[in-house]
Structure 1
């Protein structure tokens, strides 16, 4: 994925967060006369510091290719800011604080407009609704053939899994029970870790591992969940290819369970390509 698109994606996501903040702090939504700014001063300072750091990073990253790992770290920072914004929404703010936050939002929107004038695309979640286009689904980080990739969850056959994925991604994953009836010839596995190395996987451990990326004859977006568990969690290492996972299973280092759950998980960015 081109660095300019990644840069604009980070900027677009941050602008969405700030836009939400702007809605929350409009004078009609709060009572300025309450103005207990001390209640939120710590959060505001933290958020301002994070925003300043993010602005500096984005300026330094212009023209520099970014890996999916870097993008994941930046998305994590933005998720932290969004959490702070959620904390601030129900707390009365002083008019001065509202002006500061609105000013930051205006600055970021101005930066986005300046970049948008160059014709750089902005294919990031949430922007579709702001710009009048179809919204996109947040992408998750995983591994395939030793490379970091990006994918999305759109539907799942199991309601519990659908809810877990919805909560994790902040985007609805629809329940479609008939996915479990899809013929095996149209399915491929995805390895989901239930313990071991902590990370961005749906169960709190390392990212998922996919065999058969786009370009492979066996590629399909429909994946059966294969839950893999380290027999000795202390010996766990991060695995990045299906071959490594299968070798660990064969060696007895991992156990494997197939609960019969199917999830629609199309790739959106992979080694050598993106949508």
Structure 2
């Protein structure tokens, strides 16, 4: 999500117009162990999937080929249905099914490999609400599972027994990095409104980014995002984000 608004430097202060802005993102509905999960899709390593989902949800999904470098064994799983009962799943059939949620703290990770589920000919489709149900149905020969090389970033917003924090203070000029990164969750209109923070991309152009997870409990609690220690195992494949701890005053997380 990119938008240029300009910046000026005055003395030792850096003044940014629209340093933090609301970003309304489409919500999706899935299942975990028979209970609802609401999530967003932000990035994928597969260009075709990025284009298809972007068109379907009318909000751009980033094409991130470097996700292919992540070790598959450290990622979560999500099951997409390619036929069967028509519904609101990513591929137009039943809703997607997740292998875990943030409640499973040592297992949860928003980055997931896609497993395709296909009902075999002559088998009567039914809604499969959990990973266990999918695996059991596969064992009986009713469906077949296909591992793919597609990886998606699918942060969960609401899950059985929890959700990301919603900010009480809606003033984005005051401590936008604290107290929650979500302004509103609307399950009727299927949208979630994040605080989008302004920064600069590698080419120096203005970008806005959202924060959904943090690897350690302290920063996660301070920002009101999901504590996801499992992300630490993927750190060698991540790209650095630079935060300034002194220098020109500005809207960064440390006040610079």
Under a length normalisation based on structure 1, what TM-score does the superposition of the two structures give? Answer: 0.51
- Whose Rg is larger? 1
Distance of aligned partners of 1:176 and 1:250 in 2 relative to their CA distance in 1, 3 Å threshold: same
> Does 1:254 pair with 2:152?
no
Q: What is the distance in 2 between the residues matched to 1:196 and 1:184?
A: 27
Distance of aligned partners of 1:233 and 1:219 in 2 relative to their CA distance in 1, 3 Å threshold: farther
Q: CA deviation at 1:234?
A: 5.3
Q: What is the distance in 2 between the residues matched to 1:224 and 1:162?
A: 14
Under a length normalisation based on structure 2, what TM-score does the superposition of the two structures give? Answer: 0.54
Q: 2:77 aligns with which of 167, 183, 189?
A: 189
Does structure 1 retain, via aligned residues, the 8 Å contact 2:85–2:94? yes
Does structure 1 retain, via aligned residues, the 8 Å contact 2:117–2:146? yes
Does structure 1 retain, via aligned residues, the 8 Å contact 2:32–2:131? yes
Does structure 2 retain, via aligned residues, the 8 Å contact 1:195–1:233? no
Structure 1 unmatched runs, 5+: 1-131
Does structure 1 retain, via aligned residues, the 8 Å contact 2:72–2:113? no
Counterpart for residue 21 of structure 2 = 133
Does structure 2 retain, via aligned residues, the 8 Å contact 1:189–1:224? yes
Distance of aligned partners of 1:184 and 1:213 in 2 relative to their CA distance in 1, 3 Å threshold: same
Distance of aligned partners of 1:164 and 1:233 in 2 relative to their CA distance in 1, 3 Å threshold: farther
Aligned length: 145
Q: What is the distance in 1 between the residues matched to 2:139 and 2:76?
A: 19
Q: Which structure 2 residues correspond to residues 21-170 of structure 1 after superposition, within 5 A? A: 133-170=21-58
Q: What is the distance in 1 between the residues matched to 2:162 and 2:57?
A: 23
Counterpart for residue 162 of structure 2 = 273
> Does 1:242 pair with 2:131?
yes
Ranked by relative contact order (alpha carbons within 8 Å, sequence separation 6 or more), the top structure is 2
Does structure 1 retain, via aligned residues, the 8 Å contact 2:45–2:67? yes
Q: Deviations over 1:28-71 (max 9, x none)?
A: xxxxxxxxxxxxxxxxxxxxxxxxxxxxxxxxxxxxxxxxxxxx
Q: What is the distance in 2 between the residues matched to 1:255 and 1:220?
A: 25
SS in structure 1 at match of 2:137: helix
Which deviates more, 142-151 or 132-141?
Answer: 132-141
The runs of 4+ residues in structure 1 deviating greater than 4 Å are none
Counterpart for residue 172 of structure 1 = 60
Does structure 1 retain, via aligned residues, the 8 Å contact 2:123–2:142? no
